[in-house]
């Protein structure tokens, strides 16, 4: 019965030849065995994953409320094209240049800090469009506390205005409306606020809680009122963070600077970043050499909500990636290694399902072969045993594959039973005395077939044929798949070549 046969095949100590040949040809266990053998071979590394302790690093649990301190809100400006986002950002930035003693050139680093005369601060993200906002949202990260929605008073609510509202609502980020271009004679701020009602943005004068400030980004009118409204909202929201402990943050931009090398702008969300800190983000890590603000000034440290340029990355991290501080360089390497390893495992899993696809193909071939065999009448029994032996070999092989010794998977084809057997005997004796493992994936009589190539390809093996042929299309297929295909008419030459290939797989010191 099925279980008995399966048991016999999985337990290679049992002799398959003792089984009734007709049961041997049951399709369901062939399928089972093929799947199991393939799975076993490919899964060796996957099992390893489960046993290895998780070497990744993650955000810390939420801070004790007693350790939270107010921090500046982080603001993203959104709105329809041409409604004045860039102009607003420029005016806000300019308002700062005048007041800094350096008075120099501000660089675009993806964010900048605005200081109010009252001492409060706001961090503005100025990555063009919603790009930063969207890519971070896509990664489940959110750096923004408040969205300032710019709506031109002469144009009203447009489709990107609606999109921006949607983005903010999905991210559960509150909105402040900047009714812009109020300096224009045709400006109609009232209409803007009325139109917003349709999108559930209810301004204060309609009984809602959304602040709307009438501004002119171009002339700089009322920008202070906009900033004050932002600070007031942040206070209501109780925007806070823990300034101590391991740093957590987000990458908002990355670039390579000619002088400074790989750079990223990060926004700190927790802890205080200092020179010498070791950081990981995605599969990159850094030992912080320098911190720069948007004025190109070096900073000693950067606390929550501050955006800083970080110098010291080994590779460039991507925007939107989570930034985490770790205790040591050793730990950073470990985390990066782990993440790289995990990614490889993911690839392996994909490869494995590709192999399973291929195995289905083998089964179809097998069915065809079986139909042919049953028409042969008296030879049926012998053929069945032969097939079962092939499977047994494949099984043994997949087990051997799990060992770390160098391996040479083989498909052997011969003209008659006797020659195949002779080759197998020679190989068996060689196998025993060498440290390289031979794996006969498949052996059989007749010309090299597509199935042979499939099999060798799946297990990255070679095909050796003795006194057999391979059609042009098979030779081509083998070439395409990179499967070595060797045909011989003199047995000792073939065995010599085999031994040579085998020796080439041995480590040089053996
Ligand atoms: P963005 O596409 O939203 O970044 O819009 P821009 O900031 O590039 O502004 C588009 C146009 O509107 C530019 O020609 C600006 O000079 C103009 N603009 C922006 N803000 C104002 C404003 O407050 N008043 C007036 N009159 N024009 C403005």
Q: Which protein residue's CA is at the shortest distance from atom 6 of ligand 1?
A: 84
C-alpha distance from residue 508 to each of 244, 406, 407, 435, 504 (Å): 54, 12, 15, 12, 9
User: Hey, CA dihedral for 243, 246, 252, 258, is it positive or negative?
Assistant: positive
Cα separation, 253 vs 382, whole angstroms: 69
Cα separation, 117 vs 132, whole angstroms: 29
- Please, which residues have CB within 8 angstroms of residue 323's CB and are 6 or more apart in sequence? 247, 248, 249, 250, 251, 266, 279, 280, 281, 317
pLDDT tens, position by position, for the chain (510 residues)? 455 555 555 554 334 444 444 333 344 455 555 455 443 323 223 333 334 456 788 888 889 999 999 999 999 999 999 999 999 999 998 887 654 455 556 677 889 999 998 899 999 998 654 555 565 555 556 789 999 999 999 999 999 999 899 988 988 899 999 999 999 999 999 999 999 999 999 999 999 999 999 999 999 999 999 999 999 999 999 999 999 999 999 998 888 888 888 899 999 999 999 999 999 999 999 999 999 998 888 999 999 999 999 999 988 898 888 999 999 999 999 899 888 888 877 877 777 777 666 655 555 665 565 555 555 444 444 555 555 556 555 555 555 555 455 667 888 888 877 777 777 777 766 655 555 666 777 777 889 988 888 888 877 889 999 889 999 999 999 999 889 999 998 877 888 888 788 777 766 553
CA 74 to chain centre: 28
Q: Is the CB of 81 under 6 A from ligand 1?
A: yes
Q: Which protein residue's CA is at the shortest distance from atom 25 of ligand 1?
A: 181
Is this model's pTM higher than 0.90 or not?
no
Task: For residue 219, give the ligand 1 atom closest to its CA.
Answer: 23
ipTM of predicted assembly, 2 dp: 0.99
Residue labelled with tokens 């025993």: 432
Task: For residue 83, give the ligand 1 atom closest to its CA.
Answer: 3
Q: Are strands 322-326 and 301-302 parallel, antiparallel or unpaired?
A: unpaired
Q: Is the CB of 501 under 6 A from ligand 1?
A: no
Q: Is the CB of 184 under 6 A from ligand 1?
A: yes
Q: Is the CB of 14 under 6 A from ligand 1?
A: no
Cα separation, 29 vs 456, whole angstroms: 22
Nearest CA to 89 out of 140, 132, 141, 118 is that of 132
Q: Is the CB of 189 under 6 A from ligand 1?
A: no
Residue 50 exposure: Cα atoms within 13 Å on the Cβ side:
4
Task: Evaluate whether 272 touches 299 at the Cβ level (below 8 Å).
Answer: no
Q: Is the CB of 84 under 6 A from ligand 1?
A: yes
Q: Is the CB of 222 under 6 A from ligand 1?
A: no
Task: List, as one string, the DSSP characters of 192-203.
Answer: HHHHHHTTT--B
C-alpha distance from residue 11 to each of 33, 355, 395, 396, 399 (Å): 11, 23, 9, 9, 11
Ligand 1 centroid distance, CA of 267 (Å): 27
Q: Is the CB of 214 under 6 A from ligand 1?
A: no
Task: Evaluate whether 241 touches 69 at the Cβ level (below 8 Å).
Answer: yes
Cα separation, 397 vs 408, whole angstroms: 10
Q: Which protein residue's CA is at the shortest distance from atom 17 of ligand 1?
A: 84
Ligand 1 centroid distance, CA of 177 (Å): 16
């Amino acid at each position: 019965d099925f279980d008995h046969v399966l048991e016999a095949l999985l337990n290679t100590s049992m002799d398959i030849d003792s089984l009734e040949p007709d049961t041997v040809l049951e399709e369901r266990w062939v399928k089972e065995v093929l799947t199991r053998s393939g799975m076993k071979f490919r899964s060796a590394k996957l099992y390893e994953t489960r046993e290895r302790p998780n070497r990744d690093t993650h955000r810390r649990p939420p801070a004790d409320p007693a350790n939270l301190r107010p921090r500046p809100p982080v603001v993203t400006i959104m709105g329809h094209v041409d409604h004045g986002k860039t102009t607003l950002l420029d005016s806000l930035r300019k308002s700062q240049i005048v007041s800094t003693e350096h008075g120099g050139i501000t660089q675009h680093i993806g964010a900048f800090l605005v200081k109010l005369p009252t001492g409060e601060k706001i961090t503005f993200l100025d990555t063009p469009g919603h790009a930063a906002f969207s890519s971070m949202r896509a990664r489940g990260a959110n750096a923004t506390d408040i969205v300032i929605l710019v709506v031109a008073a002469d144009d009203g609510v447009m489709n990107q205005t609606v999109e921006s509202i949607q983005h903010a609502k999905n991210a559960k980020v509150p909105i402040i409306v900047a009714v812009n271009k109020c300096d224009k004679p045709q400006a109609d701020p009232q209409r803007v606020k009325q139109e917003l009602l349709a999108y559930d943005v209810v301004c204060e004068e309609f009984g809602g809680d959304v602040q709307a400030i009438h501004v002119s980004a171009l002339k700089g009118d009322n920008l202070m009122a906009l900033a004050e409204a932002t600070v007031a909202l942040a206070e209501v929201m109780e925007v806070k963070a823990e300034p101590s402990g391991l740093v957590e943050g987000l990458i908002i931009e990355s670039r390579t600077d000619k002088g400074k090398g790989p750079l990223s702008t990060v926004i700190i969300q927790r802890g205080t970043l200092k020179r010498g800190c070791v950081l990981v983000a995605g599969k990159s890590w850094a030992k912080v050499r320098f911190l720069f603000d948007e004025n190109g000034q070096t900073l000693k440290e950067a606390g929550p909500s501050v955006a800083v340029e970080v110098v010291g990355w080994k590779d460039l991290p991507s925007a939107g990636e989570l930034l985490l501080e770790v205790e040591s360089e050793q730990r950073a390497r470990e985390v990066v290694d782990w993440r790289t390893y995990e990614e490889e495992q993911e690839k392996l899993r994909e490869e494995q399902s590709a192999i399973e696809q291929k195995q289905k193909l083998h089964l179809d071939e097998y069915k065809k072969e079986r139909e042919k065999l049953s028409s042969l009448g008296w030879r049926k029994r012998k053929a069945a045993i032969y097939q079962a032996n092939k499977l047994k070999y494949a099984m043994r092989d997949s087990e051997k594959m799990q060992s770390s010794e160098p391996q040479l998977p083989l498909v052997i084809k011969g003209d008659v039973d006797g020659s195949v057997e002779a080759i197998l005997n020679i190989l068996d004796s060689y196998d025993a005395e060498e440290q390289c493992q031979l794996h006969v994936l498949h052996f059989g009589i007749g010309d090299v077939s597509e199935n042979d190539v499939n099999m060798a390809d799946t297990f990255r093996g070679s095909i050796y044929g003795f006194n057999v042929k391979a059609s042009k299309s098979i030779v081509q297929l083998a070439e395409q798949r990179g499967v070595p295909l060797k045909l011989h008419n003199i047995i000792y030459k073939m065995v010599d070549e085999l031994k040579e290939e085998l020796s080439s797989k041995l480590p040089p010191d053996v």
